[in-house]
Structure formats: structure tokens, C-alpha cells
């Protein structure tokens, strides 16, 4: 959504400055280019080197720079951007902006820019509540400055209250909202996504699992959030970063996953990507590790796990309007997946061939077939991120039809 957008990121002197590095990364992941400006106070918290290394561009710090100002750097920086973001916006920077002060590079850029400015304030709760700060905010709002946050909670100074820098996904969402005019097809929709494997304990050290990496489900959750959906991602044990704008609920077993999904409802759609283990141990091992014994190999007494997809599809009331399942097959992919759609009662099945030769399980690309009441649509091999984007668009089309 941010393809080709140029963002000038001004980083003020607050403890939360380190979070601006993550913000820069997330924006770049979404196709934006980021150019950093660090105030002198900002440099007490993070270095120009870390900003420059991350953004792949120079990090600007000086107003009176012989090198940059030979070509009026502050004017150029303020114009060669599609959006100016200040994160964290200190009380000091906001005061300067509200009063038109321009006595360093950041404040001069802010006075010289003809571009929209978005601020993410962060400060101590008393500083935030101070009449001067509140007066400045009113002025900035009247001047058309956009604002995200601050949040409420534990502050770096140890106090609790308003003044916390907005979370990175919320800053990303605010920036995306600016560029899309606030209109995204899944805005207002809640979607539950399951991803990853489940682990079914045999004893305290062993478990039954499968090879799911969770990559495809995480990509789908992120792509849905990018289209504006509120996404609850119920994740089995995987080591993946939570996509921007997604609320994650970590679980281990199928029973936990089912209960987390039920707790996350109501939802407009449920996308069941997780490879849930079919069976679990009928009875636990009483917390004891199973020992090798001369009596032979222990028999694993298994019982069936809840069928989360079938349960959601068959809900008598409160059923999500769209229930999507995934079918990982190793032969007769379309035939087996079509039968699975009927058996489970879901609206759509995304089928893929996970036989070892395809490298799909754990890999970065996927080739899927979309099976619905409209028939079968086979997509070419794509990166899992592109499959996710295409699927998110398909889901948006169904939900907004
Ligand atoms: C340890 C420490 C933490 C600070 N954290 C904040 C903060 O979170 N928000 C804020 O507005 N000022 C904070 N300040 C004060 C600013 O650094 C100070 O007002 C500075 O002049 C801001 O400069 P700038 O707006 O040019 O970045 C902090 C100061 C120190 C010493």
C-alpha cells in the first residue's frame, strides 16, 4: 500500500526514539522509502548511523551543514517527501511547530514543508497533560496536522498514564490511512485467522506435531490488516514476527486453538490456515516423562482433536459470513479438496500440493487452487506474500459484495 511513497521521518529526543527504527523498517517492508532526520536530542537516544543503515539513505542532523545546505538541504528535504512523520514527537517539537519556530534542522523543515505532517507524540503524562502542551495540540490540529496516539499505559519514566508513543502497527496504519484517504475495503470487518501447527503433548518433553511453518497464515493475516480489517491471529507454536496491525493470540494445542477462536468471535470471516493436529493423547502422562522399558514400546492411546473448521462452518448462530479452509494435499489435490469443502461445510477451500517435491511446506512460495461454489480457480506459483495479497483481495470482494 505504500509502494513508492517517500516518507521523511523526523525523530525527536524521547526515550521512545528507538521505536522509530522499527517504524522505518515496517514502512520500507510496505514499499515506502524512508529518509531520517534526527534532532540533537534524538541523537542522545539513537545514532544517525543506525538510522542511515536501516533506511539506506543519509540521516540528516545539521541545519548549518556546508555539504547539505549548499543546495538548501532543509528546503529540499521538506519537499522531496510525500508525507512528513514525527515519531516520537516531543513536547518541545510540538511547541516549536505550534509557534512557527525554526532554530534547528527539524523545526526548519517543519516550517518550510508544503507536505502533510503526521505526529506521534510521546512524553511523560504530566508533560502531556500540561496546559501548554494541550494548547499546542489544539493549534496543531487547527493547522491540519494529523496525529496518532499517544496511548495510555506504563511510561518509560515509571509513571502510568497518557503519553505512550502509539504502537508501531498503529503508526503504520495511520500512515496507510493517509495515503488511501482512509478508505480500505476491509475497514470495519473483523477476521479471525488461524496459522501454524499445533503441538499435542505426549509427555512433558515430547509432542505430536506437523511441519507447518505458519508463514502463509501470517502473510494472510498481514495482508487482511493492510486492507483495513481488524485481524485476530490465533497462532500455534511458530517463531514468526506478528504482522503490522494484527492482534496475536498464541496457543499450543488444538483444544486451546479452538477455544481461542471461539473467544475471538464474532467475526465477519474466519480463515483457517493452521495445520491442526488430527489427534491428541487420550490421557495425559501425569506430568511424568515416559520411560523406555523392557516391556516394549508404549502404545500411544489417541483421541480425535476438535475440528475447528467444521465447527465454525456449522455454527447455528453467529457463523462468520465467510469461512475459508485450507487443504494441504499430496495427491489428487483438487478432487480431495473439493470433497473436503463439502465435508466441512465451509464456503471456500484454498488447496495446495504439499508433497515433498513442491517445497511448499516451510518454503516461501505456493501454488494454490481456490475452490468455492463458483468452481475451481487455479493460481500460478507465487510468493506466499503474493498469494496472501491476492487471497485478501478475493476475501474483500466476497465480504463487500
Ligand atoms: C532521559 C530523557 C528522556 C526524555 N524523554 C522525553 C519524551 O519522551 N518526550 C519529550 O517530549 N521529551 C523528553 N525528554 C526531553 C527532551 O529530550 C527535550 O525536551 C529536548 O529538548 C527535545 O528536543 P527535540 O524536540 O529537538 O528532540 C527527555 C529527556 C531526557 C533526558
* Residue nearest ligand 1's atom 30 by CA: 14
In the reported structure, the alpha carbon of residue 125 is separated from the centroid of ligand 1 by a whole-number distance in angstroms of 13
Q: Model confidence over 51-64: pLDDT tens digits?
A: 999 999 999 998 87
Same fold yes or no, 6-180 and 190-400:
yes
Q: Model confidence over 293-308: pLDDT tens digits?
A: 887 888 889 999 999 9
Q: In testing the pocket of ligand 1, which one of 62, 90, 94, 159 has its CB within 8 Å of the most ligand atoms?
A: 90
Dihedral of alpha carbons 377, 393, 360, 32, sign: positive
Q: Is 41 close to ligand 1, i.e. is its CB under 6 Å away?
A: yes
Better-scored residue on pLDDT, 118 or 71: 118
Q: Under CATH, to which class is 190-400 assigned?
A: alpha beta
- Residue 329: per-residue pLDDT: 85
- Residue 289: per-residue pLDDT: 86
Q: What is the band of 181 on the pLDDT scale with cuts at 50, 70, 90?
A: confident
Please tell me which residue in 59, 157, 272, 346 is annotated as part of the active site.
157
pLDDT at 157 over 80: no
CATH architecture of 6-180: 3-Layer(aba) Sandwich (3.40)
In the reported structure, the alpha carbon of residue 33 is separated from the centroid of ligand 1 by a whole-number distance in angstroms of 27
Give the chain's mean pLDDT.
Answer: 91
Residue ranges per structural domain of the chain: 6-180, 190-400
Q: What is the band of 390 on the pLDDT scale with cuts at 50, 70, 90?
A: very high
Q: Is 87 close to ligand 1, i.e. is its CB under 6 Å away?
A: no
Q: What is the band of 114 on the pLDDT scale with cuts at 50, 70, 90?
A: very high
Q: In testing the pocket of ligand 1, which one of 88, 92, 101 has its CB within 8 Å of the most ligand atoms?
A: 92
Q: Model confidence over 203-250: pLDDT tens digits?
A: 999 999 998 999 999 999 999 998 889 999 999 999 999 988 899 999
* Residue nearest ligand 1's atom 13 by CA: 14
pLDDT at 388 over 80: yes
pTM greater than the 0.85 cutoff = no
Q: Is 123 close to ligand 1, i.e. is its CB under 6 Å away?
A: yes
Better-scored residue on pLDDT, 354 or 367: 367
* Residue nearest ligand 1's atom 26 by CA: 39
Active site residue 272: no
In the reported structure, the alpha carbon of residue 92 is separated from the centroid of ligand 1 by a whole-number distance in angstroms of 7
Better-scored residue on pLDDT, 158 or 167: 167
Amino acid at each position: 500500500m505504500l509502494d513508492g511513497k517517500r516518507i521523511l521521518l523526523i525523530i525527536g529526543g524521547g526515550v521512545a526514539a528507538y521505536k522509530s527504527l522499527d517504524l522505518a523498517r515496517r514502512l520500507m517492508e510496505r514499499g515506502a522509502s524512508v529518509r531520517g532526520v534526527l534532532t540533537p536530542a534524538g541523537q542522545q537516544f539513537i545514532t544517525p548511523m543506525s538510522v542511515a543503515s536501516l533506511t539506506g539513505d543519509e540521516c540528516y542532523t545539521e541545519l548549518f551543514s556546508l555539504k547539505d545546505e549548499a543546495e538548501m538541504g532543509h528546503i529540499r528535504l521538506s519537499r522531496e517527501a510525500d508525507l512528513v512523520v514525527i515519531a516520537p514527537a516531543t513536547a518541545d517539537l510540538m511547541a516549536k511547530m505550534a509557534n512557527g519556530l525554526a532554530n534547528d534542522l527539524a523545526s526548519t523543515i517543519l516550517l518550510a514543508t508544503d507536505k502533510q505532517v503526521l505526529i506521534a507524540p510521546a512524553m511523560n503524562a504530566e508533560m502531556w497533560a500540561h496546559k501548554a502542551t494541550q494548547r499546542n495540540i489544539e493549534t496543531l490540529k487547527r493547522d491540519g496536522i494529523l496525529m496518532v496516539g499517544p496511548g495510555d499505559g506504563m511510561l518509560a519514566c515509571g509513571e502510568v498514564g497518557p503519553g505512550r508513543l502509539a504502537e508501531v502497527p498503529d503508526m503504520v496504519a495511520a500512515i496507510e490511512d493517509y495515503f488511501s484517504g482512509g478508505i480500505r475495503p476491509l475497514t470495519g470487518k473483523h477476521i479471525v485467522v488461524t496459522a501454524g501447527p499445533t503441538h499435542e503433548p505426549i509427555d512433558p518433553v515430547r509432542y505430536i506435531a506437523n511441519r507447518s511453518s505458519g508463514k502463509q497464515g501470517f502473510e494472510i493475516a498481514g495482508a487482511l490488516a493492510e486492507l483495513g480489517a481488524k485481524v485476530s491471529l490465533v497462532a500455534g507454536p511458530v517463531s514468526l514476527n506478528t504482522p503490522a496491525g494484527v492482534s496475536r493470540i498464541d496457543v499450543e494445542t488444538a483444544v486451546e486453538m479452538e477455544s481461542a477462536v471461539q473467544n475471538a468471535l464474532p467475526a465477519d470471516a474466519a480463515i483457517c490456515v493452521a495445520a491442526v493436529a488430527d489427534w491428541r493423547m487420550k490421557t495425559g502422562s501425569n506430568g511424568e516423562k515416559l520411560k523406555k522399558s523392557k516391556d516394549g514400546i508404549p502404545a500411544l492411546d489417541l483421541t480425535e482433536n476438535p475440528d475447528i473448521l467444521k465447527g465454525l462452518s456449522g455454527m447455528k448462530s453467529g457463523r462468520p459470513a465467510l469461512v475459508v479452509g485450507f487443504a494441504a494435499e499430496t495427491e489428487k489435490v483438487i478432487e480431495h479438496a473439493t470433497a473436503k469443502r463439502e465435508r466441512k461445510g465451509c464456503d471456500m477451500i484454498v488447496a495446495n500440493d504439499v508433497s515433498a517435491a513442491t517445497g511448499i511446506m516451510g518454503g516461501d512460495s505456493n501454488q494454490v487452487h481456490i475452490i468455492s461454489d463458483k468452481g475451481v480457480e487455479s493460481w500460478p506459483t507465487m510468493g506466499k506474500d503474493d498469494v496472501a495479497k491476492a487471497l485478501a483481495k478475493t476475501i474483500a470482494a466476497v465480504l463487500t459484495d
